[in-house]
Chains A and B, each alone.
Chain A
Amino acid sequence: MATDTRGLSTEQAVRVRNLHRSFTKDGGVLNGLDLDIAPGEFVALIGRSGTGKSTLLRALAGLDRDVDGYGQITVPGAVSVVFQDSRLLPWKRVLDNVIFGLRGADARERGAQALAEVGLAGRERAWPHQLSGGEQQRAALARSLVREPQLLLADEPFGALDALTRIRMHALLRKLCETHRPAVLLVTHDVDEAIVLADRVILLDAGVVDTDVRVDLANRSRSDAGFAALRTLLLDRLGVDEEGRR
């Protein structure tokens, strides 16, 4: 049972202090992690498998009731989560999925607007299984954004998509974040994705922040020299070189 002090944040969107989480007795997954995310800031979280990326995200989402640990977490009141799978309810049509749990007379209108924003106008009455993987994930994004979150938590949201769809989704997510300005914590294992999308890249290792770099690139194209330097730095910290050798 996690015994955190949780609270609503004021000046920072996310403030985490001394966060510990462990699944077994002998070793912790998170070992005293500190993290701040400013309102509207886009942070990408990378790290090797098992370094606690998802554990941190689930702690921020409040989904780790049954995990041992302690620490202080402050998050905004409105938090939305995007998972690796879209988690659209198969028995609800797309629009009903987007406005699931939403109250108010204008819910359907807002839902339709959110669908249009992610390029799914006209698919309101489709069943989830009739959408492609990319479309399902866009519907999931619409479901998150229609709630106007101050913090968007995304756990490898593009992990199951093909490379072309993924590039399109990157552009869409950047555009959406520029319009709605939520603070974002994106968990990914793709270094390029992190650099393309984020204002800041954080690398976790052994349950603490290992590297914390600001992405100050005028040009986010992969051929840019600054991009390549950043990628080399991060890959080096992850313990692999450009060819994937350890």
Chain B
Amino acid sequence: MTAALHATTPKSDDKTDARVVRRRLGPGRRIRFAFWIGPLLALAVWSVGSATGVIKPAILSAPWDVAVAFEDQWSNHDLPGNILSSLERAVIGLTLGVVTGAVLAVISGLSRAGESVIDGPIQIKRSVPTLAIIPLFIAWFGIGQEMKIVTIALISLVPIYIHTHNGLRGIDGKYAELAETIGISRGDFIRHVVLPGALPGFLLGMRFAVTSALLGLVVVEQYNAVAGIGHMITLAEQYGQTDVIVVGLVIYGVFGYCADSAVRLTARKVLAWRQTLEG
């Protein structure tokens, strides 16, 4: 061996940092409260528009008038009851739709027989707008709560099915092979491989399902509702109260926004194992 070993040079105290850094191509670090910046900006534009008279009250009530109308509805017209009534419809319908959609997706994703029975009808159903089926549902279920829940369930089932099925089929076949060599049961395979692997797809479907459910809610509440946000809006329409209509719209918006952020937050927590640009 003729290689010479060099002694390490003594450490210097120089802290000059002259690194060369590449331009970042990913989205970079998270901004705090980033979620609220867009909505607050929209609110600011609305306020400025109303204050300067660019937005006429007949077109859109000013934010402060809406706040007053909100207060009035809350204390004099049972707004909390309306909100609860709407939430109940949305939650029951959504739960039914999500559970059915996920179960159908797993059956059709894992068995060829299931796929041939389930996938076709759902794809056909997907191309028929749910809102166009409402007259039929009224004939079948009447104009009560049942029809409303079935419509909401059906409208939220489709995105859950599509995205869960897609996520499930996207699972690397190597993991199925590994599970075969380990010799686990089909039930354990579904629990430990299929469901966690399809979870990212399911959660994406969930985001669509939540907004679809609200869309369904808005429409079904126009039919013979005696309580609910839609009922409040229908009444306000008859009396020409745009401020009350806006109260209803804002509540729908807040519903959707909160539900969507809840799903995204859940996704961040349960998908901690992923290493993606989401960060």
Contact = CB atoms under 8 A, between A and B. Distances in A.
B193 A63 contact: no
B196 A89 contact: yes
Contacts of B275: 129
A101 B273 contact: no
Interface in A66-122: 79-81, 83, 85, 87, 89-92, 100-101
B273 A91 contact: yes
A101 B182 contact: yes
Nearest to A102: B182
Interface in B128-153: none
A61 interface: yes
A53 to B, nearest CB: 17
B179 A101 contact: yes
B273 A100 contact: no
Taking chain B's interface residues, is the majority helix, strand, or loop, or is none over half, making it mixed? helix
Interface string B163-177: 000000000001101
A127 B271 CA distance: 11
Interface residues of B, number: 20
Contact of B199 (A91, A92, A101): A91
A81 B175 CA distance: 13
B221 to A, nearest CB: 39
Contact of A87 (B178, B188, B196, B273): B178
Contacts of B183: 101
A128 B175 CA distance: 14
A85 B174 contact: yes
Contact of B273 (A63, A80, A83, A129): A129
A87 B192 contact: no
Nearest to B188: A101
A91 B184 contact: no
A42 B72 CA distance: 83
B248 interface: no
A63 B174 CA distance: 11
B180 interface: yes
A134 B178 CA distance: 19
Contacts of B181: 61-63, 79-81
Contacts of B197: 91
Most buried by A among B178, B179, B199, B273: B178
A127 B199 CA distance: 17
A20 to B, nearest CB: 22
Contacts of B175: 87, 89
Contacts of A79: 181
Interface of A: 61-63, 79-81, 83, 85, 87, 89-92, 100-101, 127-129, 147
5 contacts: A101-B183, A101-B184, A101-B192, A128-B273, A129-B275
